[in-house]
């Protein structure tokens, strides 16, 4: 039958030998945030024919790369949220010879999106139009007011594949290209003496971007002190055994 003291010593030695083969790998994550807000406008101008305003604006932003000194990158998740597309336009239509004025504005192709390495995001707003007709003393004018604030654009979340990680690893930034597009068609329909006046329009988009890096912290070996401690216990065990033999 083994003595309790011997069992304890053997157990301690076994535990230390097991611990010596372990390393402290740990999962972690870090998130970076950025946002955008860009706008484009068109204003002024009188014309007896139709007028088309083309909206095609872009801006750039950036977000931090993952520093490989932190550990081994395991996953990347990009989230786009709080996306808003706003449009406002007014126009006035005049007619000098007829007893009424008419006109309309037609809005189409409104979109907002962004491009990042191996990832893209685009949202659209459906076409809309506004018409007017009116009789006023002297100039016979009418006006349209077209506008919306689209906040129901769906968010997006996407995880990148391992093959797409390269552009996101480094000590710099990931470039983001943000764009907005659209067209506004304004026309007077009151005959040859009608014309467009007082035209103003504004397209504005905004949103938030986050990128989350999931990674594994670099493995940290058990300090050499553990080996020394294990050797010390083994030595004590050997000394104790030797003393028992001498006593016998």
Residue 211 lies in a domain: yes
pLDDT at 139 over 70: no
Contacts of 196 (CB under 8 A, 6+ apart): 45, 46, 47, 48, 50, 51, 91, 92, 93, 103, 186, 187, 188
Residue 244 lies in a domain: no
Query: Which H or E run contains 151?
Result: none
Q: According to the model, what pLDDT value does residue 45 have?
A: 65
Q: According to the model, what pLDDT value does residue 64 have?
A: 97
Q: In angstroms, rounded to a whole number, what is the distance separating the alpha carbons of residues 87 and 247?
A: 98
State the total domains in the chain.
1
Residue indicated by tokens 């750039």: 60
Closest CA to 83 of 132, 149, 172: 149
Closest CA to 66 of 210, 212, 209: 212
Summarised one tens digit per residue, pLDDT across range 188-243 is 876 667 778 778 889 999 999 999 999 999 666 555 555 545 554 555 555 455 55
Q: According to the model, what pLDDT value does residue 199 have?
A: 80
Summarised one tens digit per residue, pLDDT across range 60-78 is 999 999 999 999 999 999 9
Q: According to the model, what pLDDT value does residue 222 have?
A: 57
Q: How many CA atoms lie within 13 A of 216 on its CB side?
A: 8
Domain residues for the domain of 71 are 23-223
Residue 132 lies in a domain: yes
Q: For residues 104, 109, 114 and 120, what is the CA-based torsion angle, rounded to 10 degrees?
A: 160
Q: According to the model, what pLDDT value does residue 237 have?
A: 54
């Amino acid at each position: 039958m083994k003595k309790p003291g011997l069992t304890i010593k053997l157990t301690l030695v076994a535990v230390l030998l097991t611990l010596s083969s372990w390393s402290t790998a740990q999962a972690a994550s870090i998130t970076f945030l950025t946002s955008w807000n860009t706008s484009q406008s068109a204003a002024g101008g009188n014309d007896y024919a139709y007028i088309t305003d083309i909206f095609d604006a872009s801006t750039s932003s950036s977000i931090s790369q993952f520093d490989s000194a932190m550990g081994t990158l395991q996953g990347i998740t990009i989230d786009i949220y709080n996306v808003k597309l706003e449009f406002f336009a007014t126009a006035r239509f005049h007619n000098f010879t007829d007893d009424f004025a008419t006109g309309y504005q037609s809005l189409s192709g409104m979109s907002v999106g962004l491009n990042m390495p191996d990832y893209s995001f685009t949202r659209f707003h459906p076409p809309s139009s506004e018409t007017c007709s009116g009789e006023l003393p002297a100039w016979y004018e009418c006006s349209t007011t077209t506008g919306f604030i689209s906040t129901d654009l769906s968010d997006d979340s996407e995880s990148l594949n391992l093959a797409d990680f390269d552009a996101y690893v480094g000590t710099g930034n990931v470039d983001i290209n943000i764009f907005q597009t659209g067209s506004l068609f304004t026309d007077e329909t009151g005959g040859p003496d009608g014309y467009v006046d007082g035209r103003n329009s504004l397209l504005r988009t905004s949103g938030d971007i986050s990128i989350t890096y999931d990674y594994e912290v670099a493995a940290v070996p058990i300090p050499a002190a553990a080996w020394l401690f294990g050797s010390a216990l083994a030595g004590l065990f050997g000394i104790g055994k030797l003393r028992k033999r001498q006593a016998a």
